[in-house]
Amino acid sequence: MIKKSIKKLDLDIYEETLENGLKIFVVPKLDVHNVYATFSTKYGSKDNEFIPINENEMIKVPDGIAHFLEHKLFEQKKGLKPFDFYSKTGADCNANTSYNKTTYLFVGQSKIKENLNYLLDFVSQPYFTDENVEKEKGIIEQEIKMYQDDPESNGFEKLLFNIFNNNPIRIPVGGTVESIAKITKEHLYTCYNTFYHPSNMFVVITGNVNPKEIIDAVKENQKEKMFIKPQKIKLKEIKEPDEVYKKHETLNMNITIPKLLVGYKINIENLKLNKEEIDAFASAYLNLMFGSISIFSLDLIKEGIINRELSFSKVKTDKHLVLIIEAYTNKKKVFLDKLNEYVKSHTIESSEFNREKKVMLSSTIYMSDNIYRINSYIMNHMVEYNKMEYNPYDFFKKLTYNDFNKFIKALSFENYSTIYIKNS
Protein backbone atom coordinates (compact mmCIF):
# COMPACT_ATOMS: atom_id res chain seq x y z
CA MET A 1 0.00 0.00 0.00
CA ILE A 2 1.43 3.35 -1.10
CA LYS A 3 0.57 6.50 0.85
CA LYS A 4 0.79 9.91 -0.82
CA SER A 5 0.33 13.00 1.36
CA ILE A 6 -0.83 16.29 -0.11
CA LYS A 7 0.11 18.66 2.66
CA LYS A 8 -1.35 21.83 1.17
CA LEU A 9 -4.73 20.13 0.88
CA ASP A 10 -4.43 18.11 4.08
CA LEU A 11 -5.21 14.89 2.20
CA ASP A 12 -3.73 11.40 2.22
CA ILE A 13 -4.28 9.11 -0.75
CA TYR A 14 -3.67 5.38 -0.28
CA GLU A 15 -3.12 3.34 -3.42
CA GLU A 16 -2.65 -0.35 -4.13
CA THR A 17 -2.62 -2.49 -7.26
CA LEU A 18 -3.73 -6.09 -6.82
CA GLU A 19 -2.24 -9.10 -8.61
CA ASN A 20 -5.20 -9.19 -10.99
CA GLY A 21 -4.48 -5.57 -12.01
CA LEU A 22 -7.29 -3.85 -10.09
CA LYS A 23 -6.25 -0.45 -8.74
CA ILE A 24 -7.60 0.78 -5.42
CA PHE A 25 -7.58 4.39 -4.19
CA VAL A 26 -8.71 5.31 -0.69
CA VAL A 27 -8.94 8.86 0.67
CA PRO A 28 -9.98 8.95 4.36
CA LYS A 29 -11.99 11.95 5.55
CA LEU A 30 -12.76 11.30 9.20
CA ASP A 31 -14.64 14.57 9.68
CA VAL A 32 -17.57 13.42 7.51
CA HIS A 33 -20.21 10.75 8.08
CA ASN A 34 -20.70 9.36 4.57
CA VAL A 35 -18.60 6.99 2.50
CA TYR A 36 -18.66 7.27 -1.30
CA ALA A 37 -17.47 4.20 -3.19
CA THR A 38 -17.12 3.90 -6.97
CA PHE A 39 -16.16 0.89 -9.10
CA SER A 40 -15.29 1.91 -12.66
CA THR A 41 -14.19 0.40 -15.93
CA LYS A 42 -12.37 2.40 -18.59
CA TYR A 43 -15.07 1.54 -21.09
CA GLY A 44 -17.62 3.93 -22.53
CA SER A 45 -19.87 4.52 -25.51
CA LYS A 46 -17.00 5.49 -27.84
CA ASP A 47 -15.39 2.03 -27.52
CA ASN A 48 -17.54 0.33 -30.12
CA GLU A 49 -14.85 -1.10 -32.45
CA PHE A 50 -12.25 -3.41 -30.92
CA ILE A 51 -10.64 -6.83 -30.99
CA PRO A 52 -12.38 -9.04 -28.40
CA ILE A 53 -10.27 -10.78 -25.80
CA ASN A 54 -8.67 -14.01 -27.11
CA GLU A 55 -9.62 -13.14 -30.70
CA ASN A 56 -7.80 -11.62 -33.68
CA GLU A 57 -10.41 -9.83 -35.77
CA MET A 58 -11.70 -6.29 -35.23
CA ILE A 59 -15.47 -6.13 -34.65
CA LYS A 60 -18.03 -3.34 -34.42
CA VAL A 61 -20.80 -3.65 -31.83
CA PRO A 62 -24.10 -1.72 -31.87
CA ASP A 63 -23.98 1.87 -30.62
CA GLY A 64 -25.15 2.36 -27.05
CA ILE A 65 -24.01 -1.06 -25.85
CA ALA A 66 -21.85 0.26 -22.97
CA HIS A 67 -24.92 2.00 -21.49
CA PHE A 68 -27.07 -1.07 -22.17
CA LEU A 69 -24.50 -3.23 -20.38
CA GLU A 70 -24.58 -0.89 -17.37
CA HIS A 71 -28.35 -1.41 -17.14
CA LYS A 72 -28.11 -5.19 -17.44
CA LEU A 73 -25.52 -5.64 -14.68
CA PHE A 74 -28.27 -4.68 -12.24
CA GLU A 75 -30.01 -7.91 -13.29
CA GLN A 76 -28.95 -10.66 -10.89
CA LYS A 77 -29.49 -14.39 -11.39
CA LYS A 78 -30.19 -15.00 -7.72
CA GLY A 79 -30.39 -13.11 -4.45
CA LEU A 80 -31.33 -9.49 -3.89
CA LYS A 81 -30.97 -7.07 -6.77
CA PRO A 82 -28.72 -4.05 -6.14
CA PHE A 83 -31.44 -1.48 -5.40
CA ASP A 84 -33.16 -3.90 -3.00
CA PHE A 85 -29.91 -4.83 -1.29
CA TYR A 86 -28.79 -1.24 -0.71
CA SER A 87 -32.21 -0.13 0.51
CA LYS A 88 -31.91 -2.76 3.25
CA THR A 89 -28.44 -1.54 4.31
CA GLY A 90 -29.47 2.13 4.31
CA ALA A 91 -27.29 3.09 1.34
CA ASP A 92 -28.01 4.63 -2.06
CA CYS A 93 -26.68 3.01 -5.24
CA ASN A 94 -26.52 4.08 -8.85
CA ALA A 95 -24.49 3.83 -12.04
CA ASN A 96 -23.63 6.00 -15.03
CA THR A 97 -22.03 5.67 -18.45
CA SER A 98 -20.11 8.36 -20.33
CA TYR A 99 -18.10 8.37 -23.55
CA ASN A 100 -15.05 6.90 -21.83
CA LYS A 101 -16.08 5.10 -18.63
CA THR A 102 -18.81 3.24 -16.79
CA THR A 103 -19.15 3.62 -13.02
CA TYR A 104 -21.13 1.75 -10.36
CA LEU A 105 -21.43 3.36 -6.95
CA PHE A 106 -22.96 3.52 -3.51
CA VAL A 107 -23.15 6.13 -0.75
CA GLY A 108 -23.71 5.09 2.84
CA GLN A 109 -22.85 5.64 6.50
CA SER A 110 -22.86 2.09 7.88
CA LYS A 111 -22.16 -1.52 6.86
CA ILE A 112 -19.48 -0.20 4.52
CA LYS A 113 -17.61 -3.49 4.05
CA GLU A 114 -20.87 -5.31 3.40
CA ASN A 115 -21.91 -2.69 0.86
CA LEU A 116 -18.48 -2.71 -0.77
CA ASN A 117 -18.41 -6.49 -1.08
CA TYR A 118 -21.81 -6.45 -2.73
CA LEU A 119 -20.69 -3.73 -5.17
CA LEU A 120 -17.63 -5.75 -6.18
CA ASP A 121 -19.73 -8.90 -6.47
CA PHE A 122 -22.70 -7.71 -8.49
CA VAL A 123 -20.53 -5.95 -11.09
CA SER A 124 -18.53 -9.17 -11.42
CA GLN A 125 -21.55 -11.45 -12.00
CA PRO A 126 -23.13 -10.73 -15.40
CA TYR A 127 -26.40 -12.49 -16.12
CA PHE A 128 -27.68 -11.97 -19.65
CA THR A 129 -30.45 -13.97 -21.31
CA ASP A 130 -32.36 -13.48 -24.54
CA GLU A 131 -35.45 -12.66 -22.49
CA ASN A 132 -33.95 -10.06 -20.13
CA VAL A 133 -32.08 -8.38 -22.99
CA GLU A 134 -35.28 -8.00 -25.01
CA LYS A 135 -37.13 -6.66 -21.96
CA GLU A 136 -34.48 -3.97 -21.43
CA LYS A 137 -34.74 -2.67 -25.00
CA GLY A 138 -38.17 -1.17 -24.36
CA ILE A 139 -36.94 0.56 -21.19
CA ILE A 140 -33.90 2.10 -22.89
CA GLU A 141 -35.93 3.07 -25.95
CA GLN A 142 -38.14 5.21 -23.69
CA GLU A 143 -35.04 6.74 -22.09
CA ILE A 144 -33.63 7.63 -25.54
CA LYS A 145 -36.90 9.22 -26.62
CA MET A 146 -37.05 11.21 -23.39
CA TYR A 147 -33.65 12.77 -24.16
CA GLN A 148 -34.68 13.40 -27.76
CA ASP A 149 -37.66 15.41 -26.51
CA ASP A 150 -35.44 17.56 -24.28
CA PRO A 151 -34.05 20.61 -26.15
CA GLU A 152 -30.93 20.77 -23.94
CA SER A 153 -29.90 17.14 -24.41
CA ASN A 154 -30.99 16.85 -28.03
CA GLY A 155 -29.22 20.06 -29.06
CA PHE A 156 -25.94 19.03 -27.45
CA GLU A 157 -26.05 15.54 -28.98
CA LYS A 158 -26.88 16.92 -32.44
CA LEU A 159 -24.00 19.38 -32.17
CA LEU A 160 -21.47 16.63 -31.46
CA PHE A 161 -22.91 14.56 -34.30
CA ASN A 162 -22.44 17.46 -36.70
CA ILE A 163 -18.94 18.34 -35.46
CA PHE A 164 -17.38 14.90 -35.76
CA ASN A 165 -17.24 12.81 -38.92
CA ASN A 166 -15.90 9.45 -37.75
CA ASN A 167 -15.22 9.62 -34.02
CA PRO A 168 -17.90 7.56 -32.20
CA ILE A 169 -18.20 10.36 -29.63
CA ARG A 170 -20.67 11.80 -32.16
CA ILE A 171 -23.18 9.09 -31.24
CA PRO A 172 -25.29 9.60 -28.07
CA VAL A 173 -24.12 7.56 -25.08
CA GLY A 174 -27.41 5.64 -25.07
CA GLY A 175 -27.20 4.89 -28.78
CA THR A 176 -30.27 5.10 -30.99
CA VAL A 177 -33.55 3.21 -31.04
CA GLU A 178 -32.29 1.41 -34.15
CA SER A 179 -28.91 0.47 -32.69
CA ILE A 180 -30.15 -0.92 -29.38
CA ALA A 181 -32.65 -3.10 -31.26
CA LYS A 182 -29.63 -5.01 -32.64
CA ILE A 183 -28.05 -5.79 -29.25
CA THR A 184 -27.89 -9.46 -28.24
CA LYS A 185 -26.70 -11.24 -25.10
CA GLU A 186 -23.68 -12.42 -27.11
CA HIS A 187 -22.72 -8.77 -27.78
CA LEU A 188 -23.02 -8.02 -24.07
CA TYR A 189 -20.83 -10.94 -22.98
CA THR A 190 -18.21 -10.04 -25.61
CA CYS A 191 -18.01 -6.44 -24.35
CA TYR A 192 -18.11 -7.48 -20.72
CA ASN A 193 -15.33 -10.05 -21.08
CA THR A 194 -13.15 -7.57 -22.97
CA PHE A 195 -13.55 -4.43 -20.87
CA TYR A 196 -14.59 -5.61 -17.40
CA HIS A 197 -11.29 -7.24 -16.50
CA PRO A 198 -9.83 -5.94 -13.19
CA SER A 199 -6.75 -4.67 -15.04
CA ASN A 200 -9.06 -2.21 -16.88
CA MET A 201 -10.93 -1.21 -13.72
CA PHE A 202 -10.37 0.69 -10.50
CA VAL A 203 -12.03 1.32 -7.14
CA VAL A 204 -12.14 4.73 -5.44
CA ILE A 205 -13.39 5.09 -1.86
CA THR A 206 -13.60 8.47 -0.13
CA GLY A 207 -14.99 9.30 3.29
CA ASN A 208 -14.98 8.04 6.84
CA VAL A 209 -12.99 4.82 6.44
CA ASN A 210 -9.83 3.11 7.65
CA PRO A 211 -7.65 2.73 4.50
CA LYS A 212 -5.97 -0.53 5.54
CA GLU A 213 -9.25 -2.18 6.48
CA ILE A 214 -10.88 -1.13 3.21
CA ILE A 215 -7.98 -2.24 1.02
CA ASP A 216 -7.80 -5.56 2.89
CA ALA A 217 -11.54 -6.02 2.31
CA VAL A 218 -11.12 -5.50 -1.44
CA LYS A 219 -8.17 -7.91 -1.48
CA GLU A 220 -10.21 -10.55 0.32
CA ASN A 221 -13.11 -10.12 -2.09
CA GLN A 222 -10.94 -10.35 -5.19
CA LYS A 223 -8.98 -13.33 -3.87
CA GLU A 224 -12.05 -15.53 -4.31
CA LYS A 225 -12.56 -14.57 -7.96
CA MET A 226 -10.90 -16.11 -11.01
CA PHE A 227 -9.79 -13.98 -13.96
CA ILE A 228 -7.89 -14.71 -17.14
CA LYS A 229 -4.44 -13.21 -17.61
CA PRO A 230 -4.64 -9.45 -18.39
CA GLN A 231 -4.45 -8.60 -22.11
CA LYS A 232 -3.94 -5.29 -23.85
CA ILE A 233 -7.22 -3.99 -25.26
CA LYS A 234 -6.98 -3.09 -28.94
CA LEU A 235 -9.35 -0.37 -30.13
CA LYS A 236 -9.79 0.75 -33.71
CA GLU A 237 -7.72 3.81 -34.56
CA ILE A 238 -10.02 6.66 -35.55
CA LYS A 239 -9.03 9.07 -38.32
CA GLU A 240 -10.88 12.32 -37.78
CA PRO A 241 -10.54 15.33 -40.14
CA ASP A 242 -10.39 18.91 -38.88
CA GLU A 243 -13.47 19.91 -40.87
CA VAL A 244 -16.90 19.53 -39.28
CA TYR A 245 -19.43 17.05 -40.66
CA LYS A 246 -22.22 19.64 -40.97
CA LYS A 247 -21.97 23.40 -40.63
CA HIS A 248 -25.48 24.43 -39.58
CA GLU A 249 -28.73 22.78 -38.56
CA THR A 250 -32.05 24.06 -37.22
CA LEU A 251 -34.21 22.01 -34.87
CA ASN A 252 -37.90 22.70 -34.33
CA MET A 253 -38.78 21.82 -30.74
CA ASN A 254 -40.97 22.89 -27.85
CA ILE A 255 -38.85 25.76 -26.55
CA THR A 256 -39.90 29.21 -25.30
CA ILE A 257 -36.79 31.18 -26.26
CA PRO A 258 -34.67 30.08 -29.24
CA LYS A 259 -31.28 28.68 -28.37
CA LEU A 260 -28.03 28.69 -30.36
CA LEU A 261 -25.19 26.24 -29.76
CA VAL A 262 -21.81 26.86 -31.37
CA GLY A 263 -19.01 24.30 -31.31
CA TYR A 264 -15.47 25.20 -32.43
CA LYS A 265 -13.43 22.16 -33.49
CA ILE A 266 -9.73 22.80 -32.86
CA ASN A 267 -6.79 20.54 -33.74
CA ILE A 268 -4.51 20.11 -30.70
CA GLU A 269 -2.10 17.50 -32.07
CA ASN A 270 0.82 19.89 -32.36
CA LEU A 271 0.32 21.69 -29.07
CA LYS A 272 3.48 21.28 -26.99
CA LEU A 273 1.50 20.87 -23.79
CA ASN A 274 0.45 17.78 -21.87
CA LYS A 275 -3.18 16.71 -21.59
CA GLU A 276 -3.64 18.13 -18.10
CA GLU A 277 -2.34 21.55 -19.18
CA ILE A 278 -4.63 21.61 -22.23
CA ASP A 279 -7.63 20.80 -20.03
CA ALA A 280 -6.71 23.48 -17.47
CA PHE A 281 -6.03 26.17 -20.08
CA ALA A 282 -9.24 25.35 -21.98
CA SER A 283 -11.30 25.73 -18.79
CA ALA A 284 -9.54 28.99 -17.92
CA TYR A 285 -10.07 30.32 -21.45
CA LEU A 286 -13.81 29.56 -21.40
CA ASN A 287 -14.28 31.12 -17.97
CA LEU A 288 -12.40 34.30 -18.89
CA MET A 289 -13.99 34.71 -22.32
CA PHE A 290 -17.60 33.74 -21.55
CA GLY A 291 -18.07 33.73 -17.77
CA SER A 292 -20.77 35.71 -15.99
CA ILE A 293 -18.51 38.75 -15.49
CA SER A 294 -16.91 38.72 -18.95
CA ILE A 295 -17.30 41.95 -20.91
CA PHE A 296 -18.63 39.99 -23.88
CA SER A 297 -21.47 38.39 -21.90
CA LEU A 298 -22.40 41.61 -20.09
CA ASP A 299 -22.44 43.64 -23.33
CA LEU A 300 -24.66 41.10 -25.10
CA ILE A 301 -27.18 41.21 -22.25
CA LYS A 302 -27.10 45.02 -22.23
CA GLU A 303 -27.71 45.13 -26.01
CA GLY A 304 -30.61 42.68 -25.76
CA ILE A 305 -28.89 40.06 -27.94
CA ILE A 306 -29.05 37.43 -25.17
CA ASN A 307 -31.35 37.47 -22.15
CA ARG A 308 -29.30 35.42 -19.69
CA GLU A 309 -25.71 34.34 -19.05
CA LEU A 310 -23.90 32.23 -21.63
CA SER A 311 -23.25 28.55 -20.99
CA PHE A 312 -20.07 26.85 -22.11
CA SER A 313 -18.31 23.49 -21.98
CA LYS A 314 -15.56 21.53 -23.67
CA VAL A 315 -15.12 18.09 -25.22
CA LYS A 316 -11.67 16.66 -25.85
CA THR A 317 -10.40 13.75 -27.92
CA ASP A 318 -6.80 12.75 -28.60
CA LYS A 319 -6.70 14.99 -31.66
CA HIS A 320 -9.33 17.69 -31.15
CA LEU A 321 -10.61 20.12 -28.58
CA VAL A 322 -14.20 21.31 -29.00
CA LEU A 323 -15.18 24.57 -27.29
CA ILE A 324 -18.96 24.86 -26.98
CA ILE A 325 -20.85 28.11 -26.31
CA GLU A 326 -24.62 28.14 -25.76
CA ALA A 327 -26.86 31.22 -25.87
CA TYR A 328 -30.58 31.91 -25.64
CA THR A 329 -31.12 34.45 -28.40
CA ASN A 330 -33.66 35.67 -30.93
CA LYS A 331 -30.83 37.24 -32.93
CA LYS A 332 -28.93 34.24 -34.23
CA LYS A 333 -26.92 35.95 -36.98
CA VAL A 334 -26.02 38.99 -34.88
CA PHE A 335 -24.82 36.80 -32.03
CA LEU A 336 -22.83 34.47 -34.29
CA ASP A 337 -21.14 37.38 -36.08
CA LYS A 338 -20.17 39.00 -32.78
CA LEU A 339 -18.96 35.68 -31.36
CA ASN A 340 -16.75 34.89 -34.36
CA GLU A 341 -15.23 38.37 -34.28
CA TYR A 342 -14.69 38.15 -30.52
CA VAL A 343 -12.88 34.79 -30.45
CA LYS A 344 -10.59 35.84 -33.30
CA SER A 345 -9.63 39.25 -31.95
CA HIS A 346 -9.95 39.35 -28.16
CA THR A 347 -6.81 39.08 -26.05
CA ILE A 348 -6.54 38.00 -22.43
CA GLU A 349 -4.17 39.96 -20.23
CA SER A 350 -1.80 38.38 -17.71
CA SER A 351 -3.71 40.01 -14.84
CA GLU A 352 -6.90 38.23 -15.97
CA PHE A 353 -5.12 34.89 -16.21
CA ASN A 354 -3.60 35.32 -12.76
CA ARG A 355 -7.04 36.08 -11.35
CA GLU A 356 -8.41 32.93 -12.95
CA LYS A 357 -5.47 30.97 -11.59
CA LYS A 358 -6.51 32.01 -8.07
CA VAL A 359 -9.98 30.68 -8.83
CA MET A 360 -8.46 27.33 -9.87
CA LEU A 361 -6.45 27.16 -6.66
CA SER A 362 -9.42 28.03 -4.46
CA SER A 363 -11.55 25.48 -6.32
CA THR A 364 -8.90 22.85 -5.63
CA ILE A 365 -9.00 23.68 -1.92
CA TYR A 366 -12.79 23.43 -1.99
CA MET A 367 -12.56 20.09 -3.79
CA SER A 368 -10.28 18.71 -1.07
CA ASP A 369 -13.08 18.99 1.51
CA ASN A 370 -15.73 17.21 -0.56
CA ILE A 371 -15.70 13.40 -0.78
CA TYR A 372 -17.67 13.40 -4.05
CA ARG A 373 -15.36 15.84 -5.82
CA ILE A 374 -12.25 14.05 -4.55
CA ASN A 375 -13.63 10.77 -5.88
CA SER A 376 -14.52 12.36 -9.22
CA TYR A 377 -11.07 13.93 -9.47
CA ILE A 378 -9.36 10.54 -9.08
CA MET A 379 -11.76 8.83 -11.50
CA ASN A 380 -11.29 11.46 -14.19
CA HIS A 381 -7.51 11.32 -13.93
CA MET A 382 -7.45 7.55 -14.20
CA VAL A 383 -9.63 7.62 -17.31
CA GLU A 384 -8.33 10.76 -19.04
CA TYR A 385 -4.63 10.40 -18.27
CA ASN A 386 -4.28 6.79 -17.04
CA LYS A 387 -2.41 8.07 -13.99
CA MET A 388 -2.91 10.13 -10.85
CA GLU A 389 -1.76 13.74 -10.43
CA TYR A 390 -1.16 13.68 -6.68
CA ASN A 391 -0.82 17.39 -6.11
CA PRO A 392 -3.40 19.39 -8.06
CA TYR A 393 -2.62 22.51 -6.02
CA ASP A 394 1.03 22.52 -7.13
CA PHE A 395 -0.04 21.68 -10.69
CA PHE A 396 -2.24 24.78 -10.95
CA LYS A 397 0.35 26.87 -9.12
CA LYS A 398 2.93 26.09 -11.83
CA LEU A 399 0.73 27.14 -14.76
CA THR A 400 2.13 30.24 -16.45
CA TYR A 401 0.66 33.03 -18.53
CA ASN A 402 3.36 32.39 -21.13
CA ASP A 403 2.15 28.81 -21.70
CA PHE A 404 -1.47 29.97 -21.57
CA ASN A 405 -0.69 32.48 -24.31
CA LYS A 406 0.88 29.74 -26.43
CA PHE A 407 -2.31 27.74 -25.99
CA ILE A 408 -4.48 30.67 -27.09
CA LYS A 409 -2.34 31.43 -30.14
CA ALA A 410 -2.67 27.81 -31.25
CA LEU A 411 -6.47 28.01 -31.29
CA SER A 412 -8.10 28.15 -34.71
CA PHE A 413 -11.78 29.05 -34.98
CA GLU A 414 -12.29 28.33 -38.69
CA ASN A 415 -14.01 24.98 -38.23
CA TYR A 416 -17.25 25.25 -36.33
CA SER A 417 -20.81 23.96 -36.34
CA THR A 418 -24.06 25.47 -35.06
CA ILE A 419 -27.38 24.11 -33.85
CA TYR A 420 -30.30 26.53 -33.66
CA ILE A 421 -33.31 25.36 -31.67
CA LYS A 422 -36.52 27.28 -32.19
CA ASN A 423 -40.17 26.78 -31.34
CA SER A 424 -41.91 24.42 -33.69
Concatenated DSSP letters for 238-304?
P---SS-S-SEEEEEES-SS-EEEEEEEEE-TT--S-HHHHHHHHHHHHHHHHSTT-HHHHHHHHTT
- 135 Cβ partners below 8 Å, 6+ apart? none
User: How big, in percent rounded to 5, are the helix, strand and coil portions of the chain?
Assistant: 45, 20, 35
- Closest listed residue to residue 412, CA positions, set 348, 343, 317, 336: 343
Residue 232: C-alpha distances to residues 51, 53, 99, 198, 199 (Å):
10, 9, 20, 12, 9
Residue 368: C-alpha distances to residues 28, 200, 372, 374, 377 (Å):
11, 26, 10, 6, 10
Q: Is 70 an active-site residue?
A: yes
Q: For the chain, give the number of residues.
A: 424
For residues 219 and 156, give the distance between their C-alpha atoms in angstroms, rounded to a whole number: 41
Of 16, 70, 157, 356, the catalytic one is 70
- 221 Cβ partners below 8 Å, 6+ apart? 116, 117, 120, 121
Element (H, E) at 121: helix 112-123
Q: Three-state secondary structure along 23-71?
A: EEEEEECCCCCCEEEEEEECCCCCCCEEECCCCCCCEECCCCHHHHHHH
Residue numbers annotated as active site = 70
